Amino acid sequence: MSKISIIIPVYYNADTLMLLYEDMKEKILGTLGDYEIVMVDDGSEDDSWKVMNQIRDIDENVKLVKLSRNFGEHAAILAGLSNCTGDCAVTKQADLQEDSELIVQMYEKWKEGNKVVLAVRRERDEPAVKKFFANLYYSIVRKTIDSKMPKGGCDCYLIDRQAIEVLLRLDERNSSLTLQVLWIGFKSDNVYFHRKDREVGESKWTLSKKVKLVVDSMMSFSYFPIKFMSSVGFIMAILAFAWIIEVIVEFFVVGTPVRGWSTLMILVLFSAGMILIMLGVLGEYLWRTLDATRNRPVFIVDSIKEARKDK
């Protein structure tokens, strides 16, 4: 009989964890057969670990992993995948914005032979500004990184044991786990859902983390920034050469004196700004190379509490 692992990254989710477990118990756990829930505490400083232990006392299929500090959702999910024992694993957010029944739908798609199943947002009950920037990010990803990224984007996915082993071997830092799932290939399918607005608790998905995701996605999966830098440099060189020709022609043919100190300073400052931006992009690549050569672990496990059923 197949076993499914449910990976739940936890970061300041004390107010939603018990509600999440009760929702899954009511709607899906009885239909999954052999299952395990792997909750990973990603350095929460609220009562999340306490609530996680309460859930483990209720359900003998719950396994707890506590990281030594906050490493980010990417690392927390990897920690869950490295400690799960299922034939497949599905990620589940702890914010109650995805219906629990989605797991059953993805599990059925896996039974049909798909090794990767993506939960794609068809609609989302969120503020217009938030939806605009989310759609913009996924549009950029589709055009510059991976055309297989679903139009509505995805946060949750189910992957086969073979795909899990591949992800763990990648061992990449400063990356996007969702894009890694798309990159590895394998037979895949999608299920669609309506993402709800968050009703309980406050999101820790800050603007700085969103910006970092965009930068990590670009740097890890696309050479578009390098192509952009080369294109800008080429265009600026052509414009500068054309400007030089125009000034020379005007001076000798029309007799226009060479003036324009203000224009020259604007051009110099603009060029210097573009050069610094390009150096910054190169610096991002160099820093990522340095970070990879350090060979530091993606996450550090503080403690593990096995599922009571496995004891």
Q: For 153-210, how does the pLDDT look when each residue is reduced to its tens digit (9 = 90+)?
A: 777 888 888 888 888 887 666 667 777 888 787 888 888 877 665 555 565 555 666 6
Q: Which two tokens stand for residue 71?
A: 């490493």
* Cβ neighbours of 142 (radius 10 Å): 15
3-class secondary structure, 39: strand
Q: Look up the CATH superfamily of 3-221+297-310.
A: Spore Coat Polysaccharide Biosynthesis Protein SpsA; Chain A (3.90.550.10)
* Cβ neighbours of 118 (radius 10 Å): 26
Predicted confidence at residue 298, as pLDDT, reads: 73
Q: If you ran DSSP here, which 8-state letter would residue 253 be given? A: I
Predicted confidence at residue 205, as pLDDT, reads: 56
Predicted confidence at residue 100, as pLDDT, reads: 82
Predicted confidence at residue 42, as pLDDT, reads: 86
Predicted confidence at residue 127, as pLDDT, reads: 65
Element (H or E) spanning 35, and its range?
A: strand 34-41
Q: Where are the domains of the chain?
A: 3-221+297-310, 224-293
pLDDT tens, residue order, the chain (311 aa): 688 899 998 888 888 888 888 888 888 888 888 889 898 988 888 888 888 888 888 888 888 999 888 888 888 888 888 888 888 898 888 877 778 888 888 888 888 888 888 888 777 666 677 677 777 777 777 777 767 777 767 778 888 888 888 888 876 666 677 778 887 878 888 888 776 655 555 655 556 666 666 666 666 666 677 677 767 777 776 777 777 777 677 767 766 665 666 567 667 767 777 777 777 777 777 766 766 666 767 777 777 888 767 65
* Phi, psi at 247, each rounded to 5°: -65, -40
Predicted confidence at residue 310, as pLDDT, reads: 65
